[in-house]
């Protein structure tokens, strides 16, 4: 029997998943940016509740992420990603037909399940299961394509809104998922044989179970360092993506200028990912995580202290966030190894998505009560905490570069067992 990985080339897998990521992000996470206000205007539903439905979806996404990781670990990503696109189509159809806010919210709860099974973390888990320790370049390539989700789908959403109305736009996205994304995933991704559940050492780490050996304690510390670092980064990115334009306006920038400045962040993220793909593959992800934290912190400082430095701050911040998206997939792989990687990614996604769910509402409260400066200050504090935690991960990178095959925590454990 042929190796299931070789049944599809890496280029095919990356292209299929990249197109899928652009469309599923545009169908869900980026949808309210264009449709929320028109929905409120047409229906009379409160705008905060319409936007809050996305937070509920992210909450659902976080709650199911550990289970999704386990499913990918056992069965591969093909059935999970295909199912996510089907669920995405169902949720969007519910939105299109929603007669009231309660049904509209129900649609977003369904979309939350689709997001938990179909966005970056399940995609990274799929690639990790397929390619093991060699998945890093593929993950970087996927984030490079996925970085165009807002660039492609915001204009598409605007065109659909103008021609079909918001209900028609949701129905069109449902059709796109059903007729394009589902076949892409089903026929474009390799079928993988089932395998047992994640190794026990990963289960112990992510469940917080105390382990008697010092190497178990090392796993435990390492997991929570990575989890907290990624969660803080996710909160910063969520607040900035939702409230950036408002923050800039409260800092004295006009709406038109704020839109122009905000558009800089996306290309800077993609640019950072491209540089990583071309030049950073032999640098351990720990160092990239540290660089990301430095760039995000410095960018926020510029935004906070100097109005004339807003453009430079956003460029630097965008580069840092772009690197962080890559590190989100490559750092766990480098530190823990490929065994049990999908299950581990699912558990790491749990606190990240919960933080993302709460971040927009918390940011809105800070904006209303204290203004944009207070939000930037709070984000800077979190960025500096991320920087400190990223620095604490440096000793775990060992000596040398990733290309020199430094030992993972799993390899350390195997080495001790052999001794």
**CATH assignment of the domain containing 383:** 1.20.1250.20
Write the pLDDT tens digit of every residue in 157-191: 888 998 999 999 999 999 999 999 999 999 999 98
Q: Is residue 195 part of a domain?
A: no
Q: Do both 137 and 260 map to the same domain?
A: no
Residues 246, 176 within the same domain: no
Question: What average pLDDT score do residues 390-394 get?
Answer: 90
Q: What is the mean pLDDT of residues 22-31?
A: 90
Q: How far apart are the first and last CA of the chain?
A: 36
Question: Do both 206 and 137 map to the same domain?
Answer: no
Domain boundary among 188, 209, 228: 188
List of residues 6+ apart from 41 with CB closer than 8 A: none
Q: What is the per-residue pLDDT across 55-98, written as a single tens digit (0 to 9) for each?
A: 899 889 989 988 998 899 888 889 999 999 999 999 999 999 99
Neighbours of 258 (CB within 10 A): 19
- CB distance 201 to 365 below 8 Å: no
Domain span including residue 132: 4-188
Residues 286 and 314 in one domain: yes
HEC secondary structure over the chain = CCCHHHHCCHHHHHHHHHHHHHHHHHHCCCHHHHHHHHHHHHHCCCHHHHHHHHHHHHHHHHHHHHHHHHHHHHHCHHHHHHHHHHHHHHHHHHHHHCCCHHHHHHHHHHHHHHHHHHCHHHHHHHHHHHHHHHHHHHHHHHHHHHCCHHHHHHHHHHHHHHHHHHHHHHHHHHHHHHHHHHHHHHHHCCCCCCCCCCCHHHHHHHHCCCCCCHHHHHHHHHHHHHHHHHHHHHHHHHHHHHHHHHHHHHCCCCHHHHHHHHCCHHHHHHHHHHHHHHHCCCCCHHHHHHHHHHHHHHHHHHHHHCHHHHHHHHHHHHHHHHHHHHHHHHHHHHHHCCCCHHHHHHHHHHHHHHHHHHHHHHHHHHHHHHCHHHHHHHHHHHHHHHHHHHHHHHHHHCCCCHHHCCCCHHHHHHHHHHC
Last residue of a domain, one of 164, 188, 212: 188
Whole-number pLDDT of residue 7: 64
For residue 3, the model assigns a pLDDT of 46
- If asked whether residues 178 and 290 sit together in one domain, one would say no
pLDDT tens digits, one per residue of 281-319: 677 888 888 999 999 999 999 988 877 788 888 889 988
pLDDT of 244-255, one tens digit each? 777 887 877 776
213 located within any domain = yes
Q: Are residues 168 and 205 in the same domain?
A: no
Residues 214 and 170 in one domain: no
Residues 178 and 214 in one domain: no
User: Which residue is associated with the tokens 């179970």?
Assistant: 209
In a domain, 194, yes or no: no
What is the pTM assigned to this prediction? 0.79
Same domain, 178 and 306: no
* Pair (88, 175) in one structural domain: yes
**Residue 58 is assigned to a structural domain of this protein:** yes
171 plus 269 within the same structural domain:
no
Asked whether residue 193 is domain-assigned, the answer is no
Instruction: Pick 333 or 106 by higher pLDDT.
Output: 106
> Do both 182 and 211 map to the same domain?
no
pLDDT of residue 368: 76
Give a yes or no: residue 143 inside a domain. Answer: yes
Number of domains present in the structure of the chain? 2
State yes or no: pLDDT of 417 exceeds 50: no
- Asked which of 168, 188, 208 is the last residue of a domain, the reply is 188
């Amino acid at each position: 029997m042929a190796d299931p990985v070789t049944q599809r080339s890496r280029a095919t897998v990356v292209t299929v998943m990249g197109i899928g990521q652009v469309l599923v992000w545009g169908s869900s996470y980026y949808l309210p940016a264009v449709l929320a206000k028109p929905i409120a205007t047409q229906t009379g539903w409160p705008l905060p509740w319409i936007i809050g439905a996305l937070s509920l979806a992210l909450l659902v996404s976080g709650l199911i992420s550990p289970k999704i990781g386990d499913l990918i670990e056992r069965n591969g990503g093909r059935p999970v990603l295909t199912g996510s696109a089907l669920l995405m189509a169902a949720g969007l159809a519910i939105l299109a037909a929603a007669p009231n806010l309660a049904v509209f919210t129900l649609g977003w709860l369904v979309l939350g399940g689709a997001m938990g099974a179909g966005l970056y973390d399940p995609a990274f888990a799929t690639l990790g299961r397929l390619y093991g320790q060699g998945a890093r370049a593929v993950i970087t390539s996927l984030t490079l394509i996925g970085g165009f989700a807002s660039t492609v789908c915001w204009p598409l959403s605007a065109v659909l809104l103008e021609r079909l109305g918001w209900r028609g736009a949701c129905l069109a996205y449902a059709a796109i998922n059903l007729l394009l994304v589902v076949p892409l995933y089903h026929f474009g991704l390799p079928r993988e044989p089932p395998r047992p559940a994640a190794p026990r050492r990963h289960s112990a780490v992510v469940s917080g179970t105390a382990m008697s050996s010092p190497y178990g304690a090392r796993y435990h510390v390492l997991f929570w360092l990575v989890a907290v670092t990624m969660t803080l980064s996710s909160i910063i990115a969520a607040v900035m993506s939702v409230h950036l334009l408002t923050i800039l306006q409260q800092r004295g920038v006009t709406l038109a200028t704020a839109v122009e400045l905000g558009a800089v962040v996306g290309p800077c993220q993609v640019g950072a990912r491209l540089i990583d793909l071309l030049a950073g593959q032999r640098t351990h992800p720990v160092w990239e995580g540290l660089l990301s934290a430095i760039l995000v912190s410095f960018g926020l400082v510029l935004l906070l202290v100097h109005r004339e430095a807003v453009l430079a701050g956003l460029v630097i911040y965008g580069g840092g966030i772009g690197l962080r998206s890559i590190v989100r997939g490559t750092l766990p792989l480098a530190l823990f190894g490929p065994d049990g990687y999908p299950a581990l990614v699912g558990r790491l996604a749990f606190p990240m998505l919960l933080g993302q769910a709460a971040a927009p509402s918390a940011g809105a409260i800070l904006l209303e009560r204290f203004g944009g400066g207070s939000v930037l200050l709070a984000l800077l504090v979190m960025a500096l905490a991320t920087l400190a935690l990223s620095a604490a991960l440096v000793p775990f990178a060992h000596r040398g570069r990733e290309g020199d095959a430094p030992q993972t925590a799993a390899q350390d454990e195997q080495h001790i067992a052999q001794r």
